Structure 1
Amino acid sequence: MNETFIPASDYKKKNWCLIDCKDQKLGRIAVVISRLLSGKQKLHYHPAFDVGDYVVVINAQDMIFDSQQPRFSVNVPGRPGRSLKQVINALPSQLLMTAIYGMLPEGSAKKSLPKRLKIYNGPDHPHAAQNPIKLDEFI
């Protein structure tokens, strides 16, 4: 008889992870964070259950962006005029959140996963009581 571990719906073994974004590229950080939020790095990962971790991101303002390529955002598609806006790297936390949200799996869990993501522009964060595990060596 197979004894496959399937986590219960009230799975509570969630870790807190701390990631420092200083001198890291946006895409590489977003991949690591999306895997941590969905729990794909755990041995008992199951796509139907939420087994992901909490992620605290610090130094988001010191990330490396590809500033050579202009990024554009369409506000009202199909509308003539100034609907095409150039996105600047003024809001690094919002750019990181958008990149991570796009990498998360589709489904009902996509709305609940970003609630466990905490992004801070500086090196200080108020989550020291949770004893987050620093994950700089895995990036």
Structure 2
Amino acid sequence: MASLAPVRAPTAAPKRQQAAKPSPGRRCGVQTRGHSLGSLPPELGVTAEKLGRDVFNTTYYPKGEDADASRKPWVVIDAAGLRLGRLSTVAATYLRGGNSGCYTPAFNMGVNVVVINADKIVVTGNKANQKLYYTLGVRGKPGSMKEETYASLHARQPARVIEKAIKGMLPKNRMGRETFTHLKVYAGADHPHAAQNPTDVTADVKAATHKAHMLEEA
């Protein structure tokens, strides 16, 4: 009769190794924006939770009150004799605050812009007849889209020409739509914003966008 091998008792499954819990006297390093705070000296009397996320970030960043619409100054630009594209680039910069030292693309740090004499804006070349504006028609009705030349739109609604040019230079998001509301364009020389005491920046716009011979030709 063959001898039977001794049967071994089944071994228990190995227990999972649990992460060692830190001792009460040990402080773990806290990660904050890629930087480790490490262990803070006890004599400071503060903890990492009280310091916040940006303890090492001293770079200036605007706050909500810096972009408050009620604090925005007003500027006025006389569009008489100025070219459409050059005027629109500077007006869009004023609206976004690109000429400000505290500019950041995540905030609307610009000013309120008033453009007058929109009926005296000029374009060069044959843009008056070649430049087209499209108006979307009714959904589901092919052929309902309409197009209009610059000369026709300028004769009918001169302010709309500048509004479309500036709006196309603003961000295509919620902030861009909110920034566009700070633009006021009027066909004539009168505007109803005298109570805001707007600063006339027409000379600065001409110096930044038009050379001397361009102004003489206009």
Deviation at 1:83, TM superposition (A): 4.0
- Mapping 1:70-109, distance limit 5 Å: 70-73=131-134, 75-76=136-137, 79-80=142-143, 83-87=145-149, 88=152, 89-90=154-155, 91-109=157-175
Matched, 1:4 2:65: no
Q: 1:112 to 1:124 in 2, by over 3 A?
A: same
Q: Write the distance in 2 (CA, Å) between the matches of 1:58 and 1:74.
A: 25
Structure of higher RCO (CA pairs closer than 8 Å, 6+ residues apart)? 1
Residue 10 of structure 1: SS of its match in structure 2?
helix
Q: Write the distance in 2 (CA, Å) between the matches of 1:117 and 1:22.
A: 17
Residue 184 of structure 2: SS of its match in structure 1?
strand
Percent sequence identity over matched residues?
Answer: 33
Q: Out of 32-41 and 7-16, give the one that drifted further.
A: 7-16
Give the superposed CA RMSD. 2.2
What is the aligned length?
Answer: 138
1:88-117 deviation digits (Å, cap 9, x = unpaired): 222221111111111002322011011111
Deviation at 1:136, TM superposition (A): 1.2
Q: Write the distance in 2 (CA, Å) between the matches of 1:72 and 1:102.
A: 12
Q: 1:94 to 1:72 in 2, by over 3 A?
A: closer
Q: Which runs of 5+ in 2 are unaligned?
A: 1-55, 206-218
Q: Write the distance in 2 (CA, Å) between the matches of 1:23 and 1:34.
A: 18
Q: Out of 83-92 and 19-28, give the one that drifted further.
A: 83-92
Letter in 2 for 1:7: P
Q: Out of 13-22 and 68-77, give the one that drifted further.
A: 68-77
- Runs of 4+ residues over 6 Å off in structure 1: none
What does residue 200 of structure 2 align with?
Answer: 134
Q: TM-score, normalised by structure 2?
A: 0.57
Residue 112 of structure 1: SS of its match in structure 2?
helix
What does residue 186 of structure 2 align with?
Answer: 120
Q: Out of 70-79 and 47-56, give the one that drifted further.
A: 70-79
Q: Which runs of 5+ in 1 are unaligned?
A: none
Q: 1:128 to 1:71 in 2, by over 3 A?
A: same
Matched, 1:39 2:81: no
Q: Write the distance in 1 (CA, Å) between the matches of 2:81 and 2:97.
A: 25
Deviation at 1:124, TM superposition (A): 0.8
Deviation at 1:121, TM superposition (A): 0.8
Give the helix-richer structure, 1 or 2: 2
Q: Write the distance in 2 (CA, Å) between the matches of 1:130 and 1:74.
A: 34
Q: TM-score, normalised by structure 1?
A: 0.86
Give the strand-richer structure, 1 or 2: 1
Q: Which has the larger radius of gyration?
A: 2
Residue 59 of structure 2: SS of its match in structure 1?
coil
